[in-house]
Structure 1
Amino acid sequence: MKSNIKKTVLVFAVLAATAALTGCATPYQSEGLTGGYKDRQIDDQTLHVQFWGNGYSTQQAVHKYFLYRCAELTQQHGFKYFMVVPPAMSGALVPTGNLVRSSGFDHSMMQKTAYYVPIIIPSGGGGTNRHEESADIRMFNDDAVLTIKVAGWDAAEVIEQLGPYVSSNGKTPADLPKAWVFEPGHSKVRAEDLLPSAPKKSTVSGT
């Protein structure tokens, strides 16, 4: 009888602890009961990165934590930049062409002629909604040989910009880091600078 009571108390204690944990938004952490990041190495320059948050986490928070983790891993692996790539470019699908290569880089792993951005995928239902973001990333340095335009992020810049947000568990505001465009034979430029804009209207004095 006492044994059953102890088991019942233990179950309720576990449930209470779980409820307490899941009552808060997912912090930046390795994957656990309430979410977090996990990653897997595909090759020397390519990783699969994932971050998911519980129902109390916003899409924007998950997106920022995902980008921060990508930047963190990029620096840990000795690279400066990272770009998000689809499975065809990471070797999951049959290669069709070349995209980027640098010293020690197996260029058969990079294909297609377009760049991609992360996609946030909400899942679950009711009060158990969770937001998840996952993608393969390709890391590279200034010596990368580009054959087409690609968009990516500066890891140091991402960490500097999102660092206060991550360390405060989302309490310190931080804008999303802006992407760069890398083009063969040119210095990197802000992606937003390449967006089309309306022509400036000319003004004639004295009219």
Structure 2
Amino acid sequence: MRVVRFLLLAGSLALGACQTPYQAEGIGGGYEDIRLSDDLFEIRARGNGYSSAAHTRNIMLLRAADLALQNNFSHFAILDGSMRESTRFAGMSTGMATTNVQATVYGNTAYGTATTVYTPSSPQYVSNQHGAMMVKMLHSPSQGALDARMIYDQLNPKIGKR
């Protein structure tokens, strides 16, 4: 029973580790940001095939909080944001043939049947989450602003820098 629990835990940790980490844009996804003025940033994020829309959105929120704190701002406001999903062909699954044989032997003679079931290959697709947001940095709280330290402290332990 302990082995089963260990395998379930190891499998769930491995699957969780497959999501896009908090990192600059790379082959496995990540964020990129453009500073448009002293207090205005455009932040984009792309998740890999294992990342949900919520995870990709959290990468953008963490990046906004990170940028605010790095640039001595205490809050930020999201002026505009969007999420979309793209799907691409990833390859073909492997076809498979399974044969079941039944035989009966009477003396020197065998009688039997064989049945083969073929499962053809099929196309496999991967979906990626994409997000973008325009963020205004603020030195003090205002209507609709988010506290950069609070967002950073909540999200960094979950998806943050490793």
TM interval, shorter chain, is 0.5 to 0.7
Structure possessing the higher radius of gyration over alpha carbons: 2
Unaligned runs of 5+ in 2: 1-16, 90-124
Percent identical = 28
1:133 CA displacement: 1.1
Tell me how far apart the structure 1 counterparts of residues 30 and 160 of structure 2 sit (CA, whole Å).
14
Hey, what's the Cα distance between the residues in 2 that align with 1:28 and 1:47?
18
Q: Which residue of 1 aligns with 2:135?
A: 137
CA deviations over 1:133-174 (Å, ceiling 9, x no partner): 1111000112x8x7xxx41210000011112101488xxxxx
Amino acid at match of 1:141: H
Matched residues in 2 for 1:168 and 1:31: separation?
14
Q: Determine helix, strand or coil for the equivalent of 1:124.
A: strand
Distance 1:138 1:153 in 2: 10
Report the Cα distance in structure 2 between the residues aligned to 1:166 and 1:85, rounded to whole angstroms: 23
Q: How far apart, in 1, do the equivalents of 2:157 and 2:71 lie? A: 22
Answer yes or no: is 1:31 the counterpart of 2:25: yes
Q: Which of 116, 140, 152 is residue 159 of structure 1 equivalent to?
A: 152
1:84 aligns with 2:73: no
Pick the aligned partner of 2:86 from 108, 113, 123: 123
Task: Please give the alpha-carbon distance, in whole angstroms, between the structure 2 residues aligned to 1:24 and 1:46.
Answer: 31
Per the TM alignment, residue 77 of structure 1 is displaced from its structure 2 partner at its CA by 1.1
Structure 1, unpaired ranges of 5+: 1-22, 87-117, 170-207
Partner of 1:107: none
Name the counterpart of 1:42.
36
Q: Considering only aligned residues, what root-mean-square deviation do their CA atoms show, in Å?
A: 2.2
The alignment's TM-score, normalised by the length of structure 2, stands at: 0.62
After TM superposition, what 4+ stretches of structure 1 lie above 2 angstroms from structure 2? 124-128
SS of residue matched to 2:42? strand
Q: Comparing both chains, which one has the higher relative contact order based on Cα–Cα distances under 8 Å and sequence gaps of 6 or more?
A: 2
Higher strand proportion (structure 1 or 2): 2
Aligned residues: 111
Distance in 2 (alpha carbons) for counterparts of 1:138 and 1:168? 23
Change (3 A) 1:168 1:72: closer
